[in-house]
Structure 1
Amino acid sequence: NGPYTSLWFNAPDLPWASAQECARAAHEALGAEVLCYLDQPEEPWLILRVVEGEAERVDERNLDDF
Protein backbone atom coordinates (compact mmCIF):
# COMPACT_ATOMS: atom_id res chain seq x y z
CA ASN A 1 0.00 0.00 0.00
CA GLY A 2 2.86 2.38 -0.63
CA PRO A 3 4.99 3.85 -3.36
CA TYR A 4 7.24 0.78 -3.62
CA THR A 5 7.07 -2.65 -5.22
CA SER A 6 8.78 -5.57 -3.50
CA LEU A 7 10.93 -8.37 -4.90
CA TRP A 8 12.09 -11.34 -2.90
CA PHE A 9 14.46 -14.00 -4.21
CA ASN A 10 14.53 -17.50 -2.75
CA ALA A 11 17.05 -19.46 -4.77
CA PRO A 12 20.35 -21.23 -4.10
CA ASP A 13 22.17 -19.39 -6.89
CA LEU A 14 21.70 -15.81 -8.02
CA PRO A 15 23.67 -13.74 -10.54
CA TRP A 16 24.77 -11.31 -7.80
CA ALA A 17 27.22 -11.95 -4.99
CA SER A 18 25.19 -9.85 -2.54
CA ALA A 19 21.89 -8.08 -2.04
CA GLN A 20 23.74 -4.79 -2.43
CA GLU A 21 24.99 -5.79 -5.89
CA CYS A 22 21.43 -6.75 -6.82
CA ALA A 23 20.15 -3.36 -5.63
CA ARG A 24 22.73 -1.48 -7.67
CA ALA A 25 21.97 -3.58 -10.77
CA ALA A 26 18.22 -3.03 -10.33
CA HIS A 27 18.74 0.72 -9.99
CA GLU A 28 20.86 0.81 -13.12
CA ALA A 29 18.43 -1.31 -15.14
CA LEU A 30 15.22 0.38 -13.96
CA GLY A 31 16.45 3.93 -13.51
CA ALA A 32 14.46 4.09 -10.27
CA GLU A 33 15.16 4.38 -6.57
CA VAL A 34 15.90 1.02 -4.95
CA LEU A 35 15.72 0.09 -1.27
CA CYS A 36 17.39 -3.12 -0.14
CA TYR A 37 17.54 -4.80 3.27
CA LEU A 38 21.15 -5.50 4.23
CA ASP A 39 20.60 -8.84 6.00
CA GLN A 40 21.98 -7.59 9.29
CA PRO A 41 19.92 -9.28 12.03
CA GLU A 42 21.45 -7.09 14.74
CA GLU A 43 20.24 -3.93 12.91
CA PRO A 44 17.23 -5.00 10.79
CA TRP A 45 16.13 -1.40 10.24
CA LEU A 46 19.21 -0.53 8.15
CA ILE A 47 18.66 -0.59 4.42
CA LEU A 48 20.66 0.35 1.35
CA ARG A 49 19.10 3.18 -0.63
CA VAL A 50 20.27 3.61 -4.23
CA VAL A 51 19.05 6.77 -5.94
CA GLU A 52 20.54 8.88 -8.74
CA GLY A 53 23.53 6.54 -8.97
CA GLU A 54 24.48 6.98 -5.31
CA ALA A 55 24.15 4.39 -2.54
CA GLU A 56 23.80 5.09 1.17
CA ARG A 57 22.81 3.17 4.27
CA VAL A 58 19.69 4.60 5.87
CA ASP A 59 17.42 3.83 8.80
CA GLU A 60 14.06 2.78 7.36
CA ARG A 61 12.33 4.30 10.40
CA ASN A 62 13.41 7.74 9.13
CA LEU A 63 12.11 7.34 5.57
CA ASP A 64 8.90 9.06 4.58
CA ASP A 65 6.32 6.91 2.77
CA PHE A 66 7.99 3.64 3.70
Structure 2
Amino acid sequence: MPVYEFKCEDCQKEFEKFLISASKIDEVKCPFCDSKNVKKKISACGVKGSGEGKISGTSSCSPFG
Protein backbone atom coordinates (compact mmCIF):
# COMPACT_ATOMS: atom_id res chain seq x y z
CA MET A 1 0.00 0.00 0.00
CA PRO A 2 1.54 3.32 -1.02
CA VAL A 3 2.19 6.10 1.47
CA TYR A 4 1.26 9.59 0.31
CA GLU A 5 2.40 12.85 1.89
CA PHE A 6 -0.01 15.74 2.26
CA LYS A 7 -0.04 19.30 3.54
CA CYS A 8 -3.17 20.92 4.95
CA GLU A 9 -3.80 24.32 3.39
CA ASP A 10 -5.83 25.42 6.44
CA CYS A 11 -3.61 24.52 9.41
CA GLN A 12 -0.34 24.14 7.41
CA LYS A 13 0.50 20.78 9.02
CA GLU A 14 2.03 17.93 7.06
CA PHE A 15 0.98 14.30 7.39
CA GLU A 16 1.22 10.90 5.72
CA LYS A 17 -1.62 8.62 4.69
CA PHE A 18 -1.72 5.00 3.52
CA LEU A 19 -4.09 4.68 0.57
CA ILE A 20 -5.15 1.54 -1.27
CA SER A 21 -5.79 3.49 -4.46
CA ALA A 22 -4.79 6.89 -5.84
CA SER A 23 -8.49 7.46 -6.55
CA LYS A 24 -9.00 7.88 -2.78
CA ILE A 25 -6.79 11.00 -2.66
CA ASP A 26 -9.84 13.27 -3.05
CA GLU A 27 -11.31 11.79 0.16
CA VAL A 28 -8.33 12.62 2.40
CA LYS A 29 -8.95 14.85 5.42
CA CYS A 30 -6.40 16.52 7.65
CA PRO A 31 -6.04 14.47 10.87
CA PHE A 32 -5.33 17.67 12.83
CA CYS A 33 -8.20 19.98 11.82
CA ASP A 34 -10.48 17.68 9.77
CA SER A 35 -10.25 19.94 6.71
CA LYS A 36 -10.53 18.51 3.19
CA ASN A 37 -8.41 21.40 1.91
CA VAL A 38 -5.26 19.30 1.56
CA LYS A 39 -2.64 19.08 -1.17
CA LYS A 40 -0.63 16.01 -2.06
CA LYS A 41 3.08 16.69 -1.81
CA ILE A 42 5.59 15.40 -4.33
CA SER A 43 7.37 12.60 -2.54
CA ALA A 44 10.70 10.94 -3.13
CA CYS A 45 10.39 7.23 -3.56
CA GLY A 46 12.39 4.96 -1.33
CA VAL A 47 14.26 1.92 -2.56
CA LYS A 48 15.64 -0.63 -0.20
CA GLY A 49 18.55 -2.70 -1.34
CA SER A 50 20.90 -5.19 0.15
CA GLY A 51 24.64 -5.35 0.25
CA GLU A 52 27.02 -2.47 0.71
CA GLY A 53 24.70 0.31 -0.41
CA LYS A 54 26.14 1.03 -3.86
CA ILE A 55 26.60 -0.67 -7.18
CA SER A 56 30.12 -1.81 -7.93
CA GLY A 57 32.03 0.67 -10.04
CA THR A 58 29.92 3.71 -9.19
CA SER A 59 30.53 6.55 -6.83
CA SER A 60 27.81 7.72 -4.48
CA CYS A 61 27.18 10.81 -6.67
CA SER A 62 27.32 9.33 -10.17
CA PRO A 63 24.15 8.50 -12.10
CA PHE A 64 23.34 4.86 -12.73
CA GLY A 65 23.40 3.44 -16.25
TM interval, shorter chain, is under 0.3
Give the number of the structure with larger relative contact order, counting CA–CA contacts within 8 Å between residues 6 or more apart. Answer: 2
Larger Rg: 1 or 2? 2
| Structure ranking higher in helix proportion | 1
Scaled by the length of structure 2, the TM-score of the pair is 0.24
Superposition TM-score, scaled by structure 1 size: 0.24
